[in-house]
């Protein structure tokens, strides 16, 4: 498993996949849809898939003395490494906004989504959508990724718009809690995001293994 991940990180990954992790710091931007940071992280991963396709990386990896399912596993390990690195940075910055910066005027007067556990849950949902729609769609052919990415982008921005609008709906104001207000609810939402991320990624992985095994490279 370590060798598969190392191969993806060293040989297959686009530098943009690592550079775009920096979009996690959009968590600190007031008056901006901060969930876009999660989308930009996946955009960096998309560039890695694009580079890998042009370099025939999938065929090269499949010719190694490993099972075809390991080719899929390597890609998922790489994607999850980038996503979890990004979400870890978002989590640290979110706790910074929830504690030290909780009383800051620029955040108190922010009409957009606050950085809290609901934000982290929605970022995980965007990552889950990327894994399920884009990566799962890519391994149907192991070549075509334009349609899966367009579909994912539409779903991703729909999630962003719904998440940004949610706290403006009467009765859902708690979703935009400042600091540690409604922390019990925030934790429940975070756990829900984690479970959805894990479930959709796992289902996508299993389907991708099945689809890729049927492809004659």
Note the pLDDT tens digit of each residue in 102-154.
878 888 888 889 999 999 999 999 999 999 999 999 999 888 888 999 999 99
pTM summary value: 0.94
Buried b (16+ CB within 10 A) or exposed e, 177-200: bbeeebeeebeebbeebeebbeeb
pLDDT-based confidence at 216, cuts 50/70/90?
low
Neighbour count for residue 64 (Cβ, 10 Å): 13
DSSP annotation of 12 reads I
Kindly calculate the radius of gyration of the chain based on its CA atoms and give it in whole angstroms: 18
Question: Mean per-residue pLDDT for 71-100?
Answer: 94
Q: Position of tokens 């991708």?
A: 208
Residues 31 and 111 sit within 8 Å (Cβ to Cβ) = yes
State both tokens at 191: 């756990």
* 59, pLDDT greater than 80: no
pLDDT-based confidence at 24, cuts 50/70/90?
very high
Neighbour count for residue 91 (Cβ, 10 Å): 18
């Amino acid at each position: 498993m370590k060798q598969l991940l190392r191969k993806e990180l060293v040989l297959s990954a686009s530098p943009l996949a690592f550079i775009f992790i920096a979009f996690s710091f959009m968590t600190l931007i007031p008056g901006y849809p901060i969930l876009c940071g999660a989308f930009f992280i996946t955009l960096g991963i998309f560039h890695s898939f694009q580079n890998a396709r042009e370099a025939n990386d999938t065929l090269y990896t499949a010719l190694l003395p490993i099972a075809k399912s390991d080719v899929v596993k390597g890609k998922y390990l790489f994607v999850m490494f980038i996503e979890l690195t990004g979400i870890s940075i978002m989590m640290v910055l979110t706790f910074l906004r929830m504690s030290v910066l909780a009383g800051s005027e620029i955040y108190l007067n922010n009409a957009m989504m606050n950085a809290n556990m609901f934000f982290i849950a929605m970022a995980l949902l965007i990552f889950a959508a990327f894994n399920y729609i884009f990566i799962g769609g890519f391994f149907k052919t192991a070549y075509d990724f334009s349609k899966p990415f367009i579909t994912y982008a539409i779903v991703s921005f729909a999630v962003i718009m719904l998440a940004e609008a949610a706290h403006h709906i009467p009765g859902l104001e708690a979703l935009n809690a400042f600091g540690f207000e409604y922390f019990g609810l925030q934790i429940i939402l975070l756990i829900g995001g984690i479970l959805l991320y894990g479930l959709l990624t796992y289902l996508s992985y299993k389907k991708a293994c099945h689809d890729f095994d049927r492809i004659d490279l």
